[in-house]
A and B are shown apart, each in its own frame.
Chain A
């Protein structure tokens, strides 16, 4: 990135340019041990406690979409970021930036959906802030949430612990959230089966870490999708990965929409799915925990960590060819969360 450059939508896509923005602009200014792990949340020590701390802003358009809304998203997103650090989320903050003229009824609907999501996740929203800006300064309403929770004792969820030979599990189908939001935005008719997968994953994660405390890493493939999440992990751990295309769960209706609009489900955002990387002797245990839980019914083993080529992800296709599965470049769909 150069000084004369300007921010583009692709810098917010979660893909290559987002990574460059973090690396070249934010990280040098803020550098510290907890941040430099570049996890979904930070793991920090306070006297007597190992904590995880995370924040995220939500700018999804439209505010309401099939199966969810910006409020549920704002709670689940931050809860999931904490869960992906192996933490038990406890407290959230919520900040609202609202455009002048925004209907109070819509705000009430969004806030009550946040309350319901918080109750489901077992977290409390304990502090907040509201700013109102003049018409046109934001598009309706944006929400920021931050959250904090204690790291589950006896676990160490970190890309550093990824090793060749470990299995890669995915908790369910890809692309549901992105397709639901996109349909809402462009007024597409969707089959009723296609709704956002937005859900708090902390309960399921806790069950997994209780059954298999040695899980190496958890990661939710949000912006940039599965392909980007896998690439980040491969780069951070300095390992290769081989993914079996035929094992990746995708809803038939979602695949059809993707075919029609030229989207690739491997790059679409998810809000209720996660990857688990674990030693193979724990794979069956983790898989059975996933399959018993409503948010993990369609979970599958989708691939394996390899020693080489370091930092690269390969995809073995349906017909048995192999190709590189690269990170997202550019923006498939801005403002998806």
Chain B
């Protein structure tokens, strides 16, 4: 809450929307990269406020959504090994893999623990010395530093039965891949707030410099998002692609060097597979040699099933902003939050789940 009264917020929002309408002389398509922005936009009903010529599309910034099936299948295969405890955040549980999910494995008897902080997985390992604990480390630059700190803590504690199954991803290389591939017809980007708090402004410079793509690092309050849309509409009108940080109270221009240092100590960059985007160069993090004894993939043999995507699921195109969830024939039919077909319907931050939950954006009343 910003402390503004409803009347004031409404007046401001209306003024911004009118300005946006005046500035957007042609149809413009803006992508909110981050799943938290997707949810914030829906929760505030912002699409309803915007003129018809301004379209907001969701991007690849939902960590659970972009985690490929191969990863989930590996996690499920580990969970079935005797003596293994899987420690994971709750949102991974229901994501369907190729033929099963962690939730199904849990029902069938696998020992899967929901944790709220990666450090809890260390406590589980300490309390179960005869078991093997595997922590599912997924997420962007936001959560990767904590995972790195957990690996350092595991080393300090001398834990021999704790491992990370790591699939951390980096946002800027994914944006480059998206723009490089073309065809998304995106005119501007609303950049993630929390990721930027770690990486700062510099990694986004290429957007305007190389692709003439205006971009705003934005906060999550409805008025902040409208402000970002307003700036993008203005620069598009002026034909001046710029990068702006409008979330200064949280995002320092240089980001968080301390978090990045921890990250850099434990992880190095590597190519990574994204659901929907394929393998993107230098877009993921792998555990450095010095810490490889905590790397589950290297230390614990596993044979996951051959990964395949669910028939008919168009998550890949949704994540690239090519289609809206409603273009998927399964949306609201076979695929619902209580019975999800693809990952974008599972995570609360997934575009399909948000479109479903909040009614597709524009209220037909």
Convert A313-328 into 0s and 1s, putting 1 for each residue whose CB lies closer than 8 angstroms to a CB of B.
Answer: 0111111111110100
The CA-CA distance from A316 to B363 in the complex, in Å, is 10
B44 part of interface (Cβ distance < 8 Å): yes
Q: A318-B10, A323-B358, A329-B337 are in contact. Are A309 and B365 (CB under 8 A)?
A: yes
CB distance from A150 to the nearest CB of B (A): 39
Docked-complex contact A320 and B13, CB < 8 angstroms: yes
- In the complex formed, the residue of B with least CB distance to A245 is B6
B46 part of interface (Cβ distance < 8 Å): yes
From DSSP, what is the main secondary structure of chain A's interface residues? mixed
List A246-305 residues whose CB lies under 8 Å from chain B.
246, 255
A308 part of interface (Cβ distance < 8 Å): yes
Residues of chain A within 8 A (CB-CB) of B47 are 321
- When the two chains form the complex, which single residue of B107, B360, B363 contacts A314, counting CB atoms closer than 8 Å? B363
Docked-complex contact A10 and B338, CB < 8 angstroms: yes
Docked-complex contact A321 and B358, CB < 8 angstroms: no
Residues of chain B within 8 A (CB-CB) of A312 are 359
The CA-CA distance from A242 to B364 in the complex, in Å, is 12
- In the complex formed, the residue of A with least CB distance to B222 is A319
Chain A interface category by residue count: 20 to 34
List B1-30 residues whose CB lies under 8 Å from chain A.
1, 6, 9-10, 12-14
Residues of chain A within 8 A (CB-CB) of B1 are 255
CB distance from B281 to the nearest CB of A (A): 34
Residues of chain A within 8 A (CB-CB) of B223 are 319
Docked-complex contact A324 and B46, CB < 8 angstroms: no
B100 part of interface (Cβ distance < 8 Å): no
The CA-CA distance from A287 to B195 in the complex, in Å, is 47
B308 part of interface (Cβ distance < 8 Å): no
CB distance from A328 to the nearest CB of B (A): 10
Q: A319-B44, A319-B223, A330-B337 are in contact. Are A324 and B10 (CB under 8 A)?
A: no
B294 part of interface (Cβ distance < 8 Å): no
Convert A1-29 into 0s and 1s, putting 1 for each residue whose CB lies closer than 8 angstroms to a CB of B.
Answer: 00000100010000011001000000000
Q: A6-B107, A10-B338, A330-B337 are in contact. Are A319 and B357 (CB under 8 A)?
A: no
CB distance from A306 to the nearest CB of B (A): 7
CB distance from A252 to the nearest CB of B (A): 9
CB distance from B64 to the nearest CB of A (A): 14
The CA-CA distance from A315 to B107 in the complex, in Å, is 36
- In the complex formed, the residue of B with least CB distance to A6 is B107
The CA-CA distance from A321 to B45 in the complex, in Å, is 4
- In the complex formed, the residue of A with least CB distance to B360 is A324
List B54-112 residues whose CB lies under 8 Å from chain A.
107
Residues of chain A within 8 A (CB-CB) of B9 are 318-320
CB distance from B365 to the nearest CB of A (A): 6
Residues of chain A within 8 A (CB-CB) of B48 are 321-323
Docked-complex contact A318 and B365, CB < 8 angstroms: no
Residues of chain A within 8 A (CB-CB) of B222 are 317-319, 321
B42 part of interface (Cβ distance < 8 Å): yes
Docked-complex contact A320 and B14, CB < 8 angstroms: yes
B49 part of interface (Cβ distance < 8 Å): yes
Docked-complex contact B365 and A314, CB < 8 angstroms: yes
CB distance from A20 to the nearest CB of B (A): 8
B148 part of interface (Cβ distance < 8 Å): no
Residues of chain B within 8 A (CB-CB) of A20 are 338
Instruction: Name 18 A/B residue pairs within 8 A (Cβ), A-sorted.
Output: A10-B338, A240-B365, A245-B6, A246-B6, A255-B1, A314-B359, A318-B6, A318-B9, A319-B44, A319-B223, A321-B46, A322-B48, A323-B42, A323-B43, A323-B48, A323-B359, A326-B359, A330-B337
7 extra interface residue pairs, beta carbon distance < 8 Å, beyond A317-B45, A318-B10, A322-B48: A6-B107, A246-B6, A315-B45, A319-B45, A319-B46, A320-B10, A323-B42
